[in-house]
């Protein structure tokens, strides 16, 4: 399967970010979401909090890269809703 993403827009070096701590199976994982200052849309995700070199660290790193690439492709928009965020495909 081949996935093609539109060219991504470079984000500024400084941008709004929200960091939250999530607890999954008793393990604390920090999730940081970086936003595009021009649109307010989330454009990157960083997941961390486990020991480097572990399988879970690799999974979190790979997931962060994949989701950030999708968010930066601008093919998806995220809008707030009463029950959380809703992700919709734009094209």
User: Does residue 87 have a pLDDT over 80?
Assistant: no
Tokens representing residue 8 in the block: 């991504």
pLDDT in tens, 28-80: 999 999 999 988 888 899 999 888 999 989 999 999 998 888 888 766 666 66
pLDDT of residue 3: 56
Are 76 and 85 in contact by the 8 Å Cβ rule? The answer is no
Are 86 and 79 in contact by the 8 Å Cβ rule? The answer is yes
pLDDT of residue 33: 93
Residue 13, CB half-sphere, CA atoms under 13 Å: how many?
Answer: 0
User: Does residue 84 have a pLDDT over 70?
Assistant: no
């Amino acid at each position: 399967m081949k996935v093609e993403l539109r060219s991504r827009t470079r984000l500024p070096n400084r941008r709004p970010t929200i960091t939250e701590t999530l607890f999954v199976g008793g393990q604390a994982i920090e999730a940081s979401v970086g936003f595009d200052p021009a649109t307010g849309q989330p454009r990157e995700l960083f997941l961390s909090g486990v020991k480097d070199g572990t399988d879970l660290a690799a999974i979190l790193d790979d997931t962060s890269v994949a989701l950030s690439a999708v968010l930066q492709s601008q093919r998806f928009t995220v809008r707030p809703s009463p029950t959380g965020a809703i992700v919709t495909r734009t094209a």
